[in-house]
Amino acid sequence: MPELPEVETVCRDLRSCGLIGKPITQATVLWDRTIQNSTTETFCHSVQGKRIIDIRRRGKYIHILLSDSLHVFIHLRMTGSLSLVSSEMGIGQYDRVIITFNESSLRFSDPRKFGRIMLCDSQTSIYDKLGPDPFDPLLTTDVWFERLHGRQMRIKPLLLDQSFLAGLGNIYADESLFSASIHPCRPAHSLSRDESAVLLESIRHILTTAIIHRGTSLGDGKGNFTSNGDRGENISNLRVYGKSTRPCPKCSTPIQRIVVGQRGTHYCPNCQK
């Protein structure tokens, strides 16, 4: 779930929840290892009394700007989710961190405990290690082609490398490559100028469509990423992910599932050469 469109949906929801401007009255950590770069005590003490200045997204990170130049970065990893609830609400089975405001509290829930929260003095440590955002206007088709041209890795694992491009995950990488009719195992440098331009367009189109539909929810919806518990509606737009043996929507050839870089990979062997 939590790839760029899902994280973007969470950020938009949090911004429209009226969270911005509110002071944090208390923070509680129920699973210590969720706090990645400081102790539970330091984290709780540091954020107490700070106000939420803004909520942004960088790649798959939720970036919460606090007063006094503090930055909280939240990564949902596989099963993390955020929800804003009444502070009276009882603690959930999978709640790992609770940030309380006066009447409401932001709960970080995460069954698999992979999600991470970091507290930083500046945003650079996170921002600098990530590649460009797919929607970055500085990422022109020329820049994109040159970036691909210098790499001999297979295109799919490269798209999943967050230091190369920030935000794509397994679902949207497969969908973007299908949309661009590019085989996931093509060496990145083998893409022509035209193919690379089509790929960038495809990535942007796939992500834009997914954001409009509030992301993709898989499974039964438990531990869903959205802050209000609603499911993302993008699953109906998926054309290859999770569709192995089903007919390709372009040519009716059965969709194949292979493993590329230890990740399940779905593609059409006829359309993606």
3-state secondary structure 97-136: EEEECCCEEEEEECCCCCCEEEEECCCHHHHCCCCCCCCC
Catalytic residue among 3, 6, 8, 175: 3
Q: Could you confirm whether 107 is annotated as catalytic?
A: no
Least Å from the CB of residue 165 to DNA: 11
Between 100 and 190, name the residue whose CB sits nearer to DNA: 190
Residue ranges that bind DNA, judged by CB under 7 A: 1-3, 33, 59-60, 75, 77-79, 93, 111-114, 151-154, 157, 160, 162, 169-171, 216-220, 222, 224-225, 261-264
Least Å from the CB of residue 22 to DNA: 27
* CB 51, CB 67: distance < 8 Å: yes
Catalytic residue among 51, 201, 263, 269: 263
CA separation for the pair 273, 271 (Å, rounded): 6
* CB 4, CB 232: distance < 8 Å: no
Q: Could you confirm whether 60 is annotated as catalytic?
A: yes
* CB 60, CB 131: distance < 8 Å: no
Q: Could you confirm whether 146 is annotated as catalytic?
A: no
**Can you say whether the dihedral through the CA atoms of 161, 164, 166, 172 is positive or negative?**
negative
Between 33 and 56, name the residue whose CB sits nearer to DNA: 33
Catalytic residue among 50, 57, 60, 186: 60
Between 22 and 257, name the residue whose CB sits nearer to DNA: 257
Between 101 and 144, name the residue whose CB sits nearer to DNA: 144
Of 182, 225, 223, which Cα lies nearest the Cα of 201?
182
* CB 64, CB 97: distance < 8 Å: no
Least Å from the CB of residue 23 to DNA: 30
At 129, give phi and psi (nearest 5°).
Answer: -85, -5
Least Å from the CB of residue 89 to DNA: 19
Q: Could you confirm whether 3 is annotated as catalytic?
A: yes
Residues with active-site annotation: 2-3, 60, 263
